[in-house]
A and B are shown apart, each in its own frame.
Chain A
């Protein structure tokens, strides 16, 4: 780790201030502040339909925001684990081919990424044959192989049983400690967030008024 002598608070990997997204004339969420620094685990909590995934995508710059600002550290490498992967059964995609999807990596790096999520014995079966838990781990491995500064997990314990989800939680914690990456974890489990997180943001679904928060603009 680099010596960070002068700064008392580290530079955030991503910082969003007062962001909001509206779709078809309705605000999905408004006035959300979010900050993730290196080594921190931040939970993004909300009920179904509260706009958690949309909010995370807005913070990553995958979708445009309609208010507020987002600062991301330059050359930020993000590892993203989507909530689920809808691979068409017509697409012949094996585990190792999926690991190569976003870049070419040597076999040794693929091995060690699969190792780190406990999939070393999996071999190279078609992705469509994997169980929910195996697929989540595989997605995690394909995010980790990029050596991300920021790991974004969209409800990683969905479709995994309770025992499996405990293993997954400790696995993610171990990864955060060993790689010193920041983690943004989308979940509906407030208890988990209060227990395990360094910080958490709660999205509350309600009728967001259509009043201008800052000065109104022409659009």
Chain B
């Protein structure tokens, strides 16, 4: 009797477990999911909560938006994983660099069908529309689009005696030299206060490789030629690598520098130059230094020769709708809410995210803002990382590993360039 009871209990347990797991599969979708990374970041957590809450106020329970957060670096893989699974997700914030891979994987919906053809041309500038377009299909609504710029600390330059405009690479090198040698903090015994001339990315593929590409373009090199062949062993590319190595040898840049590290150091007033996107404002604001114009000035990257067009890495956030979402109409309403004037201006006001919608972009609040005005010269000329696409991470890893090898001295520039080409071609 006792044994029979135990057997029955085991069978009952096993069957109820099976039914319990099966029930979830058949449940009807309630609400909408908004996948993003900014909602979990300290600087934008509050505004994201407000954006969602203000939308939910007017929605019925089945159309309430809930957010799912993961770090920026995991966004592409998380969206991809969900595309293969059965989990619900409807709207997502993506980086423009993720668009080629996600679009060609068939994860994203064609927004022209949902928003209508004229929606984009009526509301956005052609440059903004193009970043959400892949192979002629409009997959993304431009949320905030602005190339990455060079953020300069005028106070550090002044304290170092830099009294000239930084236009060319030669000016840039001279300024870095002066910061390294002349700044009082670099001449005292406390290494804990040292000022780093340039917080160039050297740590991870996701930030180092796209930033390094800007220098490649500046020196007239590229990762691929027009036929798609890797040309990282070109004369210009090797010259760029040599130049980057010289910055390290002179102590102007340092290893293990990620974007987060650079922002932290900049916020502490310990970096003269670094590359970042418009959203940096939220991360580098430090009221202890006074108003932001005293310690942060966005400007274009230096050029090789005077008169050259400054190069910049394309940057921006898009709002996309997932192709298999059953609630595309509701998703559209949420996106319209996010880019509406009230919401976009509050987003801009709180963390400096430049709106993309023409009507909002032309508002006085935006036009009179120091940060966005400083960004105006940078707005033209942003270029998407050449590695964006299916092998984005693999290409970037190859570039950063070889660049690190050059910086540490374990490879020459020529050897590293040849290794990059060989590995990229044999991927």
Same assembly: no
Which A residues lie at the B interface, using CB under 8 A?
Answer: none
Which B residues lie at the A interface, using CB under 8 A?
Answer: none
